[in-house]
Amino acid sequence: MNVRLSDCKIGEQIEISKIEDGAIATKLIEMGLTEKLITQIVLVAPLGDPIAIDINGFILSIRKSEANHVIVKKIKS
Partner 1 sequence: MKIALLGNPNTGKSSVFNLLTGMRQKIGNFAGVTVEKKSGFYTTENESVEIIDFPGTYSLNPRSVDEEVVSKALKDKNNPDYPDLIMAVVDASRIENNLFLFTQLYDLGLPMVLVLNMWDLAKKQGIQIDLDKLQACFPDITIISTNARVGIGKDRIIETISEHKKRANTRFLIEDELTEESTPHFERKRVELRKQKIQELTPSFVKKEKSQKTSKLDLFFVHPLWGYLFFLMVLMVIFQFIFSFASYPMDLIESSFLSLSEFTSSTLPSGVINDLISQGIVPGIGGVFIFIPQIALLFFFIAILEETGYLSRVVFIMDRIMRPLGLNGKSIVPLISSLACAIPGVMSTRTISNWKERLITILIAPLMSCSARIPVYTLLIALVIPERYVMGFINVQGLVLFGLYLLGIIGALLTAFVLKLLIKNKSKGFLLLELPNLKAPVWRNVGFTVLEKIKIFVFDAGKIILAISIVLWFMASYGPGDKIEKSSQSLMQSTQYQEANKEDQQSMKSSIMLENSYIGNLGKLIEPVIEPLGYDWKMGISLITSFAAREVFVGSLSTIYAVHDEREEKQKLRETMTKEKRKDGTPTYTLASGMSLMVFYVFAMQCMSTVAVVKRETQSWKWPIIQMAFMGVMAYAFALLTFLILS
Output DSSP code: residue 7: G
Name the minimum Å distance from CB 73 to partner 1: 18
Taking Cα atoms as reference points, which of 25, 43, 42 lies closest to residue 34? 25
How far is it, in rounded angstroms, from Cα 16 to Cα 36?
5
Name the minimum Å distance from CB 2 to partner 1: 20
Q: Is 2 in contact with 17 (CB distance < 8 Å)? A: yes
Where in 1-20 is the site for partner 1 (CB under 8 A)?
none
Where in 17-76 is the site for partner 1 (CB under 8 A)?
21, 23-32, 34, 42-50, 52, 54-63, 65-66
Contact residues: partner 1, CB under 8 A: 21, 23-32, 34, 42-50, 52, 54-63, 65-66
